[in-house]
Amino acid sequence: MAANESAGIFSSASLAVEYIDSLLPENPLQQPFKNAWISMLNNYTKFQIATWGSLIVHEALYFLFCVPGLLFQFIPYMKKYKIQKDKPESFEGQWKCFKVLLFNHFCIQLPLICGTYYFTEYFHIPYDWEAMPRWYIVLARCMGCAVIEDTWHYFLHRLLHHKRIYKYIHKVHHEFQAPFGMEAEYAHPLETIILGSGFFIGILLLCDHVILLWAWVTIRLIETVDVHSGYDIPLNPLNLIPFYAGSRHHDFHHMNFIGNYASTFTWWDRIFGTDSQYHAYYEKMKKIQKKTD
């Protein structure tokens, strides 16, 4: 009886949300997006959409999100927002990073992306417009993916810092003590697979449409490029997300090598006390700043 009542409550809540949503004015972007989506379905096969579409989405968004950080180094005004001001970016470092990224993207990530089609076929993940979930459902599922990935990342990232294995895998990512946006996916191939697995766990559990794959990769890329940017930009909308770690949190990890292991949120570091050095450092910096003012 209780199960039936619970099902009825959730069903009623769902209908209420859909009714309220129907009363809201139509999103002016929905029709162009619908037309583009249907056109894509009519002109490309599911394999092409899942494989090459996913690759294009990843490559285009990753390097697009890196552009602001690349430009900041040439804008004097932005230097005041750089976290580690004594470690400027270098062309040599960025070029080396770019070459490693191309190898990782096309030799490691592309084979994984090629499995997307078979995943959607095996689990009957729809592509059609009629099955497209509402934007708030997609957003909620992406947040679920973020929580799952953050948990995986914290514990596996912390393991990769173990003294017995650090120099063999994770040391590659820490080659740049002052991170920059493009360095977000600069890593040993094994690290790309180990930490990247956390991205797919949420998809396995929560994916109900192929759009979630692209929405989740978009949010994950925005987040990882932001925390590796090396700049603490005021009025960053990502900072409105509860418990969001941000660039200062992760920048300290690159500077200190110990602590702040989570990818997106702060709660795991707070629970296990692995952010204690981070908070002590910034308390010390605040006191120094007060004395110099």
Q: Across residues 221-243, what is the average pLDDT?
A: 95
- Of the listed ranges 26-35, 129-138, 165-174, 194-203, the one predicted with least confidence: 26-35
* pLDDT above 90 (res 290): no
- pLDDT tens per residue, range 39-56: 999 999 999 999 999 999
* pLDDT above 60 (res 253): yes
Mean pLDDT of the chain: 90
Kindly state the tokens that stand for 220. 């994950």
Q: Across residues 210-234, what is the average pLDDT?
A: 96
Q: What is the pLDDT of residue 191?
A: 96
Residues 141, 208: contact at Cβ < 8 Å? yes
Q: What is the pLDDT of residue 8?
A: 55
* pLDDT above 50 (res 120): yes
* pLDDT above 50 (res 189): yes
pTM: 0.87
Q: Across residues 61-88, what is the average pLDDT?
A: 94
Instruction: Quickly tell me which residue has 């934007």 as its tokens.
Output: 135
* pLDDT above 70 (res 129): yes
Residues 150, 169: contact at Cβ < 8 Å? no
* pLDDT above 80 (res 200): yes
Q: What is the pLDDT of residue 1?
A: 47
Q: What is the Cβ-side half-sphere exposure of residue 113, based on CA atoms within 13 angstroms?
A: 23
Give the confidence band of 231 by pLDDT, cuts at 50, 70, 90: very high
Whether the CA torsion 57, 170, 199, 265 is positive or negative: it is: negative
Distance of alpha carbon 259 from alpha carbon 206, whole angstroms: 30
Instruction: Quickly tell me which residue has 């003590």 as its tokens.
Output: 177
Distance of alpha carbon 243 from alpha carbon 235, whole angstroms: 16
Of 81, 125, 84, 99, the residue nearest 236 (C-alpha) = 81
90: left (phi over 0), alpha (psi -120 to 50) or beta: beta
Of 198, 174, 155, the residue nearest 254 (C-alpha) = 174
Q: What is the pLDDT of residue 18?
A: 54
% of the chain surpassing 70 pLDDT = 90
Residues 208, 124: contact at Cβ < 8 Å? no
Residues 191, 169: contact at Cβ < 8 Å? yes
Three-state secondary structure readout of the chain? CHHHHHHHHHHHHHHHHHHHHHHCCCCCCHHHHHHHHHHHHHHCCHHHHHHHHHHHHHHHHHHHHHHHHHHHCCCHHHHHHECCCCCCCCHHHHHHHHHHHHHHHHHHHHHHHCCHHHHHHHCCCCCCHHHCCCHHHHHHHHHHHHHHHHHHHHHHHHHHCCCCCHHHCHHHHHHCCCCCHHHHHCCCHHHHHHHHHHHHHHHHHHCCCHHHHHHHHHHHHHHHHHHCCCECCCCCHHHHCCCECHHHHHHHHHHHCCCCCCCCECHHHHHHCCCHHHHHHHHHHHHHHHHHC
How far does CA 243 lie from the centroid of its chain?
Answer: 15
* pLDDT above 90 (res 286): no
Q: What is the pLDDT of residue 10?
A: 41
